[in-house]
């Protein structure tokens, strides 16, 4: 079977690191590029972290540095969640490589236009790079299979009571992407909050080998590590969805992103307007996950040989 070509647009980030590590090690996926954005921490740090990961994993995947600031709003990073480096908790060797000379938007364009097969964009940070990509190079849209994004939700936020972090940081960019005409699958907090790992699961990841130990060490520094309620590794759920759609349920729903006011960054789903025929569904929304299946899946992924 031919591996599915993907680009990660990412802000590593401890849960980003988990998602990337799983994807890079899975032969069903062909990771063509890591394009970085500033969000969890500043873009200099997320870019360095992406390089730390590719070098640790021993893979030749280019890293391209993207936007450091949202389109309009001011960035609100969260080092309290991921640590001051964005990936606190593991001593990576000093990085020897460099990001590409070109900007992430240019790098994405080149990968997308030069790929024989359509690319899947896995967006696990803010949507700033993708909004600019679509504005500068609209021709890429036809060459994208799907955008799978971790962001938003149907049941409340994690940055404030209604907005999720990735959408909150750049709602204008997210709105451009959601309304771009490219098929978007939104995997939000309503699902990632249900996909939890517990201490024994994390210990199984630790025992699985070198990659598992690295991720376990980072997870120990992740803000809600090992609270009794379980650990939410949001971005890794997006990779689970791509590889194991059988673990999820989806529904086409009308999603609008609030751009102004105290609820800015909220993904508003107007079910009633859809039922009344006043709004059309525009986004495939992941609505359910099989939590047990997800837990087993993630442990099995780390049990692949290093
Ligand atoms: C999202 O916000 C970031 O902190 C995580 O990396 C994830 O992409 C969860 O809301
Ligand atoms: Ca992220």
Token pair for residue 254? 């009308």
Instruction: Kindly calculate the radius of gyration of the chain based on its CA atoms and give it in whole angstroms.
Output: 18
**Tell me, what's the pLDDT at 258?**
98
Give the whole-angstrom CA distance, residue 20 versus residue 3.
15
Instruction: Specify the residue for token string 């690319």.
Output: 119
Give the whole-angstrom CA distance, residue 115 versus residue 33.
12
Ligand nearest to the CA of 10: 2
Cα of 186 from ligand 1 centre, angstroms: 13
**Tell me, what's the pLDDT at 228?**
66
Ligand nearest to the CA of 157: 1
pLDDT in tens, 3-23: 999 999 999 999 999 999 999
**Tell me, what's the pLDDT at 79?**
87
Cα of 39 from ligand 2 centre, angstroms: 8
Judge if pTM exceeds 0.95. Answer: yes
**Three-class secondary structure of residue 285 per DSSP:** strand
- The dihedral formed by the CA atoms of 165, 169, 172 and 176, expressed in degrees to the nearest 10: -60
**Tell me, what's the pLDDT at 96?**
96
Q: What share of the chain is helix, strand, coil (3-state, %, to 5)?
A: 40, 20, 40
pLDDT in tens, 119-148: 999 999 999 999 999 999 999 999 999 999
Question: Cβ neighbours of residue 133 under 8 Å, at least 6 residues apart?
Answer: 105, 108, 109, 140
**Tell me, what's the pLDDT at 142?**
98
**Tell me, what's the pLDDT at 184?**
98
Asked whether the beta carbons of 257 and 127 are under 8 A apart, the reply is no
Rounded (10°) angle between helices 14-25 and 43-57: 30
Q: Measured from the CA of 124, which atom of ligand 1 is nearest?
A: 8
Give the whole-angstrom CA distance, residue 168 versus residue 172.
9
Q: How far is CA 285 from the centre of its chain?
A: 15
* Residue environment code for 198-210, b if the CB has 16+ CB neighbours within 10 A, otherwise e: eeebbebbbebee
**Tell me, what's the pLDDT at 223?**
74
- Reading the chain (306 residues) residue by residue, the pLDDT tens digits are 789 999 999 999 999 999 999 999 999 999 999 999 999 999 999 999 999 999 999 999 999 999 999 999 999 998 888 888 999 999 999 999 999 999 999 999 999 999 999 999 999 999 999 999 999 999 999 999 999 999 999 999 999 999 999 999 999 999 999 999 999 999 999 999 999 999 899 999 999 999 999 999 999 888 756 556 789 999 999 999 999 999 999 999 999 999 999 999 999 999 888 889 999 999 999 999 999 999 999 999 999 877
Asked whether the beta carbons of 138 and 113 are under 8 A apart, the reply is no
Strands 283-289, 248-253: pairing kind: antiparallel
pLDDT in tens, 178-195: 999 999 999 999 999 999
Q: Measured from the CA of 158, which atom of ligand 1 is nearest?
A: 10
Q: How far is CA 293 from the centre of its chain?
A: 20
Catalytic residues: 234
Cα of 272 from ligand 1 centre, angstroms: 29
Cα of 170 from ligand 1 centre, angstroms: 13
Pick from 165, 191, 192 the residue to mutate for probing ligand 1's pocket: most ligand atoms within 8 Å of its CB: 165
Ligand 1 is surrounded, with C-beta below 6 A, by: 13, 15-16, 40, 78, 81, 124, 150, 158, 164-166, 234-235
Instruction: Specify the residue for token string 């025992």.
Output: 207
Give the whole-angstrom CA distance, residue 53 versus residue 32.
14
Give the whole-angstrom CA distance, residue 20 versus residue 14.
10
């Amino acid at each position: 079977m031919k591996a599915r070509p993907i680009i990660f647009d990412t802000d590593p980030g401890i849960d980003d690191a988990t998602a990337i590590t799983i994807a890079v090690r899975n032969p069903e996926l062909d990771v063509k590029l890591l394009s970085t954005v500033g969000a969890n921490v500043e873009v200099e740090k997320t870019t360095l972290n992406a390089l730390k990961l590719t070098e640790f994993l021993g893979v030749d995947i280019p890293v391209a540095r993207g936007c450091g600031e949202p389109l309009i709003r001011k960035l609100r990073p969260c080092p309290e969640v991921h640590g001051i480096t964005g990936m606190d908790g593991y001593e990576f060797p000093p990085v020897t490589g460099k990001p590409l000379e070109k900007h992430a938007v240019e790098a994405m364009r080149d990968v997308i236009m030069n790929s024989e097969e359509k690319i899947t964009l896995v967006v696990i940070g803010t949507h700033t790079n993708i909004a600019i990509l679509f504005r500068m190079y609209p021709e890429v849209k036809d060459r994208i299979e799907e955008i799978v994004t971790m962001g938003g939700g149907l049941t409340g936020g994690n940055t404030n009571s209604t907005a999720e972090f990735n959408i909150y940081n750049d709602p204008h960019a997210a709105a451009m992407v959601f309304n771009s005409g490219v098929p978007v699958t939104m995997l939000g907090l309503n699902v990632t909050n249900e996909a939890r790992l517990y201490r024994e699961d994390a210990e199984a990841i630790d025992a699985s080998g070198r990659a598992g130990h690295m991720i376990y060490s980072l997870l120990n520094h992740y803000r809600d590590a090992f609270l009794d309620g379980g650990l939410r590794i949001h971005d890794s759920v997006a990779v689970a969805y791509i590889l194991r759609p059988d673990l999820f349920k989806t529904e086409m729903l009308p999603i609008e992103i609030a751009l102004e006011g105290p609820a800015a960054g909220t993904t508003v789903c107007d079910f009633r307007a859809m039922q009344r025929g006043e709004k059309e569904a525009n986004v495939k929304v992941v609505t359910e996950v099989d939590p047990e299946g997800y837990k087993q899946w993630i442990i099995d992924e780390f049990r692949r040989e290093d």
